[in-house]
A and B are shown apart, each in its own frame.
Chain A
């Protein structure tokens, strides 16, 4: 089966200064459909840069990136926006929900950029909210009335609603206590069981342990697990 995500020799250089090391110094890896992969590394390892490139928020300086059969490395800003809208579902550490809006409005929001007909939106949002297991009696509450775990489930439902190829989660448990974090990670595993591809970025081994495999980053390069542990 063709990989759903393939990165080859990706280099990212932010500064033009010669003495500065590249944020990514030639990274290659691929993810198969239905895999749950963790990307791990300490701060400064380039994992945020890698996440931004995988999330099509940024472009590599050199290298290719094929997402779901589409080469996105050379796309312009509007094309990248389209890719973000349809093929990637983001989950953030700090949830990034609209605070004064209801759960339903937050989950419906991505569909205004993919031109889903108004009549179908609520139904699709309900399916996504059911998939993440949020109580139905919370669906019309404002998001600032929810607990952290509930907010993160709303964020995951929002990521799911446009049926993306991959879910990209950046430290999704970073703002949650351990027990709630487990609930969220269980949610990801349930989504994986339904056939979703999940990419999780973290700096915690206990979190990465939930994934099928872990990609370790250090100083902008991929290293094997033993090396990373040193």
Chain B
């Protein structure tokens, strides 16, 4: 049988029962579309996280409590001192770092996850206690009102600045949040400002946050003088390595630790954070891909099911084809080619739909997604692979049918 005939026979056969073909292909479409979409979400998150780390400035060093293996994202919700018993940073450490040469600015912050309540809502979110200079180092801008002032930080005033998502979560639409009260741990905080949107990703929405003075956080919420992150901005990019060494030495001495491998804090530069972040987002992407991969396997089983049904239904046709001269390999190729074609057709539509939905998700501003050529390439080869794996057994059993028995089959 020539390639032309193979293709021709395949097309005739898959178009002969359009509804069944459509439903079978749908399984593959859904599987591939979800893989494309999930990988796009994962990679989009990776891109936005990388972007946001880079936009924080290349001169930034981040000091967090705990050893290197933990607390890399200490400013993102882990309780102060997450690195272990006694491992904590305090205002004394901040002051020591501020005195070092090559430091442009130091900004400390603490975080705590709290329930924020207003008369109409109750929302859990990350509350960041900001120290002096935080606004500058993190490049935070307000769209309404003002940010936490130095006076607020020194006095521990009960004021709060909300992210735009936090505002919509807490207040009915159209309410002017300025001057409103928000209860955190039973204490009323007054809203003084709203930050500009920074966008979010699948891992973390940087607009769903509340900023309060660090002193207020320590006094009313955590009850401890711990600091979860010290952001240090160096004066020059060239001085980063030296500054990293200096900070480490200073804090080791202050914490009375002689063995640097037992440091109860870590000093990370932007590239350290980037590599940690991409490890996390890489795992995250893989996880999403694996979950959606399950639906692809289910789609493949659907293909196998349809092919087995087809082989049974067409037993007499197979017998006839053998009688008029089809070799076993011709029969195998015919059914294998049907399975592969179904998968590839499903793959093409799946890619189109997955891509389309990714673009829509991005357009809604909910999440940033990024469809990569490699995920499309993988999707296509996975499709062909599924066709071969799940089509081989039915095709093989068709080719092994005894023509005499097959022709008598009722």
Residues of chain A at the chain B interface (Cβ within 8 Å): 48, 52, 55, 57-58, 77-78, 81-82, 84-86, 90, 92, 96, 98, 100-101, 105, 109-110, 112-115, 118, 158, 162
In residues 324-370 of chain B, which contact A (Cβ within 8 Å)? 324-330
For B325, give its contact among A92, A98, A110 (CB under 8 Å).
A110
Pair A85/B325 contact, Cβ less than 8 Å: yes
Q: Contacts of B326 on A, CB cut-off 8 Å?
A: 81, 85, 113
Q: Contacts of A113 on B, CB cut-off 8 Å?
A: 1, 321, 324-327, 330
Pair B404/A52 contact, Cβ less than 8 Å: yes
Q: 28 A–B contact pairs at CB < 8 A?
A: A48-B404, A57-B323, A57-B403, A57-B404, A77-B327, A78-B329, A81-B326, A81-B327, A81-B330, A84-B322, A84-B325, A92-B407, A96-B319, A100-B16, A105-B12, A109-B324, A110-B324, A110-B325, A112-B1, A112-B2, A112-B8, A112-B9, A113-B1, A113-B325, A113-B330, A115-B2, A118-B4, A158-B324
Pair A82/B325 contact, Cβ less than 8 Å: yes
* Nearest CB in chain A: distance from B130 CB, A: 73
Pair B324/A85 contact, Cβ less than 8 Å: yes
* Nearest CB in chain A: distance from B197 CB, A: 59
Q: Contacts of B323 on A, CB cut-off 8 Å?
A: 55, 57, 84, 90, 96
Q: Contacts of A82 on B, CB cut-off 8 Å?
A: 325, 327
Q: Contacts of A162 on B, CB cut-off 8 Å?
A: 325
Task: Give CA–CA (A58, B322) in the complex, Å.
Answer: 12
For A77, give its contact among B5, B321, B328 (CB under 8 Å).
B328
Task: Give CA–CA (A172, B361) in the complex, Å.
Answer: 64
Instruction: Say yes or no: is B317 at the interface (Cβ < 8 Å to chain A).
Output: yes
A114 and B325 contact, Cβ closer than 8 Å, known pairs A52-B404, A57-B403, A96-B316: yes
Task: Give CA–CA (A78, B5) in the complex, Å.
Answer: 19
Instruction: Say yes or no: is B384 at the interface (Cβ < 8 Å to chain A).
Output: no
Q: Contacts of A55 on B, CB cut-off 8 Å?
A: 323
For A78, give its contact among B2, B319, B324, B327 (CB under 8 Å).
B327
Instruction: Say yes or no: is B382 at the interface (Cβ < 8 Å to chain A).
Output: no
Q: Contacts of B319 on A, CB cut-off 8 Å?
A: 96
Task: Give CA–CA (A77, B331) in the complex, Å.
Answer: 13
Instruction: Say yes or no: is B306 at the interface (Cβ < 8 Å to chain A).
Output: no
Nearest B residue (CB) for A78: B327
Q: Contacts of B327 on A, CB cut-off 8 Å?
A: 77-78, 81-82, 113
Q: Which of A48, A57, A86 has the most CB of B within 10 A?
A: A57
Pair B9/A58 contact, Cβ less than 8 Å: no
Nearest A residue (CB) for B320: A96
Task: Give CA–CA (A82, B322) in the complex, Å.
Answer: 10
Pair B407/A96 contact, Cβ less than 8 Å: yes
Task: Give CA–CA (A105, B16) in the complex, Å.
Answer: 14
Pair A90/B404 contact, Cβ less than 8 Å: no
Task: Give CA–CA (A77, B402) in the complex, Å.
Answer: 11
Task: Give CA–CA (A155, B404) in the complex, Å.
Answer: 17
Task: Give CA–CA (A90, B407) in the complex, Å.
Answer: 11
Nearest B residue (CB) for A90: B323
Q: With contacts A57-B404, A96-B317, A110-B324 known, what are 12 further pairs, Cβ within 8 A?
A: A48-B404, A77-B327, A81-B326, A85-B325, A86-B325, A101-B12, A105-B12, A109-B324, A112-B1, A112-B2, A112-B8, A113-B1
Task: Give CA–CA (A98, B9) in the complex, Å.
Answer: 12
Q: Contacts of B2 on A, CB cut-off 8 Å?
A: 112, 115
Q: Contacts of B330 on A, CB cut-off 8 Å?
A: 81, 113
Task: Give CA–CA (A52, B316) in the complex, Å.
Answer: 16
Task: Give CA–CA (A57, B406) in the complex, Å.
Answer: 11
* Nearest CB in chain A: distance from B52 CB, A: 59
Q: Mark B1-24, 1 if CB is under 8 A from A, else 0.
A: 110110011001000100000000
Task: Give CA–CA (A21, B322) in the complex, Å.
Answer: 29
Q: Contacts of A86 on B, CB cut-off 8 Å?
A: 325
Q: Contacts of A101 on B, CB cut-off 8 Å?
A: 12
* Nearest CB in chain A: distance from B407 CB, A: 6
What 7 pairs across the A-B complex have the smallest Cβ distances?
A85-B325, A113-B325, A112-B5, A81-B327, A110-B324, A96-B320, A84-B325
Task: Give CA–CA (A100, B16) in the complex, Å.
Answer: 8
Q: Which of A81, A82, A96, A105 has the most CB of B within 10 A?
A: A81
Pair B324/A90 contact, Cβ less than 8 Å: yes
Pair B404/A58 contact, Cβ less than 8 Å: yes
* Nearest CB in chain B: distance from A196 CB, A: 17
